[in-house]
DNA sequence: ACTACGATTACCT
DNA sequence: GGTAATCGTAGTG
């Protein structure tokens, strides 16, 4: 996959305007692309988590809108970037505006712009380049300034489908790092992909 | 204004 | 396996 698939266009808003678990599973195998310094950086999404609009105490939207989570309540396809532990994580907003649902992108398989991504991470090993939600934001230089951007527009941050990419077998399990609703199987990974942040618990 | 805490990561044994 | 580092957000006074 030598060249980034920028000619294929971003996923349409209708892709995101569906039940969040469906969007989370369908985002696997898509390309996350970041235009920076005249080059495209990014990779293939291999791990996601769904955060639901209702009955999900782990979601940032659970206690209603605040200044910090406002973009989570905006149109489907909006980018929601939030800070945590002095780092950042990236979500795609799902379902209709006002719902407060999103998909956290937890890991990508690094493909395009390996040299600049290694520089941003101060690391060489591909396994630790983008295999975590804050790692991939650091590799792609995404921070709070990008919060609220439209992922469906032709901007510097896009999620696009890869034509001719074989559908990957998807598996699910409990989400990582949360304190509430830990048993819901809302984490989705491409089976056996080595670039996930952690393996699924043994079934 | 003060304080507690987190959808994390890196580094340690 | 465990834990310290780090800082913006949100809740409280």
Q: What is the nearest nucleotide to A69, using C1' and CA?
A: C9
**Local structure of residue A75 (DSSP, 8 states):** -
Tokens of A17: 């305007």
Identify, with chain letter, the residue nearest to nucleotide C6 (CA–C1'). A86
Q: A126-157 pLDDT, tens per residue?
A: 999 999 999 999 999 999 999 999 999 999 99
Asked whether the whole model's pTM tops 0.95, one would answer: yes
**Local structure of residue A184 (DSSP, 8 states):** S
**CA-CA distance, A96 to A74, in Å (whole number)?**
8
Confidence of residue A164 (pLDDT cuts 50, 70, 90): confident
C1’ B7 / CA A126, Å: 23
Give the pairing of strands A87-94 and A79-84: antiparallel
Q: A4-39 pLDDT, tens per residue?
A: 777 778 999 999 999 999 999 999 999 999 999 999
């Amino acid at each position: 996959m030598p060249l980034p698939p920028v000619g294929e266009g971003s996923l349409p808003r209708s892709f995101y305007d569906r039940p969040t678990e469906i969007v989370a599973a369908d985002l696997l195998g898509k390309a996350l692309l970041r235009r920076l310094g005249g080059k495209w950086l990014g990779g293939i999404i291999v791990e996601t988590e769904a955060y639901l609009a209702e009955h999900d105490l782990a979601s940032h939207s659970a206690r209603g809108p605040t200044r910090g989570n406002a973009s989570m309540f905006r149109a489907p396809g909006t980018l929601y970037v939030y800070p945590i532990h002095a780092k950042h994580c990236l979500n795609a907003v799902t379902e209709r505006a006002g719902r407060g649902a999103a998909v956290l992108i937890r890991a990508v398989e690094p493909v395009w712009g390996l040299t600049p991504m290694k520089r941003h991470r101060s690391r060489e090993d591909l396994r630790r380049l983008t295999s975590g939600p804050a790692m991939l934001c650091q590799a792609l230089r995404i921070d709070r300034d990008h919060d609220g951007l439209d992922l469906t527009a032709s901007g510097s941050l896009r999620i696009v489908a890869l034509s001719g990419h074989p559908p990957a077998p998807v598996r699910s399990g409990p989400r990582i790092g949360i304190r509430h609703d830990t048993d819901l199987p809302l984490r989705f990974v491409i089976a056996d992909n080595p670039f996930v942040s952690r393996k699924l618990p043994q079934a």
